[in-house]
Structure 1
Amino acid sequence: MSEYILHPDAQFPLPADIEAEVYGSAFGVRAYLPADTASIPDDVWAGASGLVCYHEVAVTAAVMDRMPKCRVVVRAGVGFDNIDLRAAAERGIAVCNTPDYGTTDVADHAIALTLAFLRGITFYNRAIEADPLAGWRFDTAPSVRRLSTQTFGVVGLGRIGTATALRAKALGMRVIFFDPYKPTGTELAVGLERCATLDDLLAAADIVSLHTPLTEETRHIMNAATFAKMKPEAILINTGRGPSVDLDALADALLSGHVAAAGLDVLEQEPPSPDSKLIAAWRAPDSPIRDRLVLTPHAAFYSPSSLIDLRRKSAVVALGYLQEGDSRDLVNRDLLDQAAAARRRA
């Protein structure tokens, strides 16, 4: 088959059978595992009509220059900060994402991390494992609280933020949110309380849950200054984008006790360096934050069902764009229009 779609960092055991089923006789599929991405031959890059990538490939201008036949890049996931949208548009390449996969799974994970602290789950388990007799105590967990006394703050009320907020509300928590890009009245539609500024949310929330895309505005949105504005002994949850949190500043906030706990599914560097300030403090003998930090390996999206959904949906988006020349999940439409207008003027 002469035309094919390249999957350079597949997050599943090969072969790419689900993708091949979606593409049918229209396109072939070339799939590689992340460990093999660097060794993909030049002619395979050059012959690809489309690219479907996860988070382990940076789709830069240089990468796109290796793909003269490429018409679409699809991010198998929600965030697309690993793709240079402007460089793609300048080359006439559409960029799409798959925003409707994993919404419920990530929301469930954010709530699970929250409950792990509010109900002391990880602490109790570790204490009993260490000493079944001395650890059999209910009054030693540092962050157990009645849910109905807690204010749950959502930063970014997109699909996943909304799903998380509604779960927190169903559990009896007061739910507030900050999202300057949501129109007036959103709070009425979903029955939540709106904060005018991030500072207002940080001052009121017992739990701060991050659900923003990664932009220059949101990079290190949680830093030394914003941690200082949180309520004393508040809890941070991040299932959004790793670089939204300055991990050195978080280490300081946890060590000082100003932040009670943090549950992180995403980090700036994945996997984390054992030598990073946060990881080193967490793993140190007799660490004061051992039971106040829970890490999961960028797994919030994952269930067997969600991975199947993601594979199928991203393939459907790629095929749809290649066959129809458009997609409702196109994220660089304005840039494509601007680049096309510039070419016409030239």
Structure 2
Amino acid sequence: MRILIPDLGYDDADLEREVAGPDFTIDFYRWQPGIEAKITDESWRSCHALALYEKIPVTPAIMAKLDNIKLVVRAGVGFDNVDLKGFGAMGIPVCNVPDYGTMDVAEHAIGLLLGLTRGIVEHNERLRGDPIGEWMFHTPPIKRRLLGRRIGIVGLGRIGTATAMRAKAFGLDVWFYDPYLRPGIELGLGFGRAFSLEELLAGSDVVSIHTPLTAETRNMIDAKALSHVKKGAILINTGRGETVVLEAVYEALKSRQLDGAGLDVLEIEPPQLNHPLIKAWRTKEPWLHGRVVLTPHSAFHSPESIVTLRKKSVKTAVDFLRDGNLYNCVNAEFLKK
């Protein structure tokens, strides 16, 4: 059996081969711009499973070459670069690896919140410029105690739940909005539940986004949604950049509807330097300075999470090809059709 990794971000596939065992062949191409042109037709045609990262979109032209394909694994959580419906029509399951960085992302979300509310990032930046003159405790603009405040979790999946449990440990009152969870789950968890996004936004001091990117969630946090947010709230996004309209966040920060924002993901990555929010953040405009923390889509990352991702993506393929065990299928609705 043969597994193809067309956009591996590492110099070798020793880890993948160790997981797969001797009865599997691992073909891989080290990711670089233009790698698509170097992948041979034979590589596409001979593979029984495809393990994809996020760099290569699987086009109809590529799909037409997959003569022996039995499974596609998206080595990550999101699957925007895979045609779920198209593979479903071919009878090919598509799986993802949703849990490799759960703890890392949850910790990052809380880290962004603490960075803003304890002034950690702002103090560090000011002290770097003037260690003596800035030796003051009151300069960050949105310092506050978290105990007793409410955090609203949008999407109570694996990462949303892990974030909620960490927030609860800090004494935050946890609410969530997730229309796909069965009634009563909030009772077992001890969380509050909002039955509309507007209700959650209006009642939360902190809003943390943890939804996948779908047609329903794309641009979910827009100007209309933010008009409902509790005045002075903080927005955290470690989910998908396209769920939040950056222009709307800029306007909400400018009007003080939002006091702060911690963003690990953006609509366009890397950011557009001429976007008004990015420009104001970079130039340290006084009205915004200290109220925004950006990180480079790094919430998922740790040495441990990458090892887990690489192992689980290959194991998902091996378990299906060898034993027929299917895990984390994301196109089941199309397979049924």
Instruction: Please state which band the TM-score falls in when normalised by the shorter chain.
Output: over 0.9
| In 2, Cα distance between equivalents of 1:158 and 1:251 | 28
| In 1, Cα distance between equivalents of 2:124 and 2:162 | 28
SS of residue paired to 2:313 = helix
User: 172-181 or 91-100, which moves further after superposition?
Assistant: 91-100
- Check conservation: 1:113, 1:263, Cα contact below 8 A: yes
| In 2, Cα distance between equivalents of 1:255 and 1:314 | 43
SS of residue paired to 1:260 = strand
**Is 1:19 the equivalent of 2:16?**
yes
Deviation sequence 1:234-293 (CA, Å, 0-9, x none)? 111111111101112112222332211111111222222223333223213535324222
| In 1, Cα distance between equivalents of 2:241 and 2:299 | 12
Code of the residue aligned with 2:220 in structure 1: it is I
Code of the residue aligned with 1:4 in structure 2: it is R
Q: How far 1:87 sits from its partner (Å)?
A: 0.4
CA gap of 1:266–1:66, structure 2 versus 1, over 3 A, is: farther
SS of residue paired to 1:229 = coil
- Check conservation: 1:18, 1:312, Cα contact below 8 A: yes
Q: How far 1:66 sits from its partner (Å)?
A: 2.8
Q: Which residue of 1 aligns with 2:27?
A: 30
Q: Which residue of 2 aligns with 1:8?
A: 6
Give the unaligned 5+ runs of structure 1. Answer: 339-346
| In 2, Cα distance between equivalents of 1:242 and 1:169 | 25
| In 2, Cα distance between equivalents of 1:337 and 1:182 | 22
| In 1, Cα distance between equivalents of 2:328 and 2:77 | 10
Q: Which residue of 1 aligns with 2:208?
A: 209
Q: How far 1:51 sits from its partner (Å)?
A: 1.0
User: 76-85 or 302-311, which moves further after superposition?
Assistant: 76-85
CA gap of 1:285–1:179, structure 2 versus 1, over 3 A, is: closer
Q: Which residue of 1 aligns with 2:176?
A: 177
Q: Which residue of 2 aligns with 1:131?
A: 130
- Check conservation: 2:6, 2:30, Cα contact below 8 A: yes
SS of residue paired to 2:236 = strand
Deviation sequence 1:84-113 (CA, Å, 0-9, x none)? 110011122210111221111111111111
Q: How far 1:300 sits from its partner (Å)?
A: 1.0
Q: Which residue of 2 aligns with 1:53?
A: 52
Deviation sequence 1:188-229 (CA, Å, 0-9, x none)? 111100011111110011110001111111001111111111
| In 2, Cα distance between equivalents of 1:79 and 1:55 | 8
| In 2, Cα distance between equivalents of 1:297 and 1:50 | 31
| In 1, Cα distance between equivalents of 2:137 and 2:68 | 63
Q: How far 1:81 sits from its partner (Å)?
A: 2.6
Matches within 5 A, 1:62-211: 62-211=61-210
SS of residue paired to 1:21 = helix
Code of the residue aligned with 1:35 in structure 2: it is Q
CA gap of 1:290–1:72, structure 2 versus 1, over 3 A, is: farther
Q: Which residue of 1 aligns with 2:294?
A: 295
Question: How many aligned residue pairs are there?
Answer: 335
- Check conservation: 2:36, 2:56, Cα contact below 8 A: no
Code of the residue aligned with 1:263 in structure 2: it is G
SS of residue paired to 2:299 = coil
Normalized against structure 1, the TM-score is what? 0.92
| In 2, Cα distance between equivalents of 1:217 and 1:311 | 30
What root-mean-square deviation, in Å, do the aligned CA atoms of Structure 1 and Structure 2 show?
A: 1.6
Q: How far 1:333 sits from its partner (Å)?
A: 2.2
Deviation sequence 1:102-159 (CA, Å, 0-9, x none)? 1111111111111101111001111111211221111111111111142111000011
User: 296-305 or 201-210, which moves further after superposition?
Assistant: 296-305
| In 2, Cα distance between equivalents of 1:180 and 1:161 | 14
Q: Which residue of 1 aligns with 2:308?
A: 309
CA gap of 1:105–1:283, structure 2 versus 1, over 3 A, is: same
User: 157-166 or 320-329, which moves further after superposition?
Assistant: 320-329
- Check conservation: 2:116, 2:292, Cα contact below 8 A: no
- Check conservation: 1:14, 1:31, Cα contact below 8 A: no
CA gap of 1:6–1:289, structure 2 versus 1, over 3 A, is: farther
Code of the residue aligned with 2:150 in structure 1: it is T
SS of residue paired to 2:160 = helix
CA gap of 1:200–1:4, structure 2 versus 1, over 3 A, is: same
**Is 1:334 the equivalent of 2:326?**
no
Code of the residue aligned with 2:40 in structure 1: it is P
SS of residue paired to 2:156 = coil
Normalized against structure 2, the TM-score is what? 0.94
SS of residue paired to 1:26 = coil
| In 2, Cα distance between equivalents of 1:287 and 1:57 | 41
Code of the residue aligned with 2:330 in structure 1: it is V
- Check conservation: 1:251, 1:281, Cα contact below 8 A: no
